[in-house]
């Protein structure tokens, strides 16, 4: 029952239509708003922080939790694969190779332990 939401067509279509509107609105917001509207500096700062924080809120649970519970264990293959990939990416800044590192670590751990 991991993907319960995917099997509800009404929910999915509404979600996707809403997400498409989100893309349109966020990307063209200041193209459409009148020129008199400006972003206050404090708000702009918060806007700059939001994407990184929102992504952290999605990434962290896939690393440190499983099925809604904290999962800190030697058997957490996702955690080790993603830590290795993060370290590699910070070092080399190459996304494709970071993906290869993650998949290699994950596959080795999955097959050997």
Partner 1 sequence: MRRIRHLLMPAIDRAALREGLRDMSHLAVAISVWGLVTGVAIVNRGMGIPMALFFSLTVFAGTAQLAALPLMAAGAPLAVVWVTATLVNLRFVIFSAASRPHFVHLTVPQRIWAGYLNGDLGFALFSRRFDGYDTTGTPEHYGYFFGTAYVNYFVWHVASVIGIILGDLAPTSWGLEIAATVAMIGVVVPMATRWPIVAGIVVTGVLSVLTLGMPMRLGIVVSVIAGIAVASVAETVAAR
Distances (CA, A) of 45 to 48, 51, 58: 5, 11, 21
**Distance separating alpha carbons of residues 101 and 83, to the nearest angstrom:** 10
**Distance separating alpha carbons of residues 42 and 11, to the nearest angstrom:** 36
Task: At 95, list the tokens.
Answer: 């996304």
In whole angstroms, the minimum distance from the beta carbon of 38 to partner 1 comes to: 8
Answer yes or no whether residue 92 interacts with partner 1 by CB under 8 A.
no
Answer yes or no whether residue 112 interacts with partner 1 by CB under 8 A.
no
Show the site string, 32-71: x = touches partner 1 by CB under 8 A, - = not: x--x---x--x-xxxxxxxxxxxxxxxxxxxxxx--xxx-
Question: How many residues lie near partner 1 (CB under 8 A)?
Answer: 73
In whole angstroms, the minimum distance from the beta carbon of 91 to partner 1 comes to: 10
Q: Which is nearer to partner 1, 93 or 113 (CB)?
A: 93
Answer yes or no whether residue 4 interacts with partner 1 by CB under 8 A.
yes
Q: Are strands 65-66 and 69-70 parallel, antiparallel or unpaired?
A: antiparallel
């Amino acid at each position: 029952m991991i993907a319960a939401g995917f099997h509800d067509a009404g929910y999915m279509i509404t979600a996707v239509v809403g997400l498409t509107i989100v893309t349109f609105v966020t990307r063209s917001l200041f193209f459409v708003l009148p020129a008199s509207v400006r972003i206050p500096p404090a708000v702009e700062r918060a806007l700059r922080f939001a994407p990184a924080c929102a992504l952290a809120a999605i990434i962290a649970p896939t690393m440190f939790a499983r099925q809604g519970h904290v999962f800190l264990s030697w058997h957490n293959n996702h955690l080790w694969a993603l830590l290795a990939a993060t370290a590699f990416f910070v070092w080399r800044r190459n996304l494709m190779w970071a993906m290869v590192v993650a998949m290699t670590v994950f596959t080795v751990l999955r097959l050997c332990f």
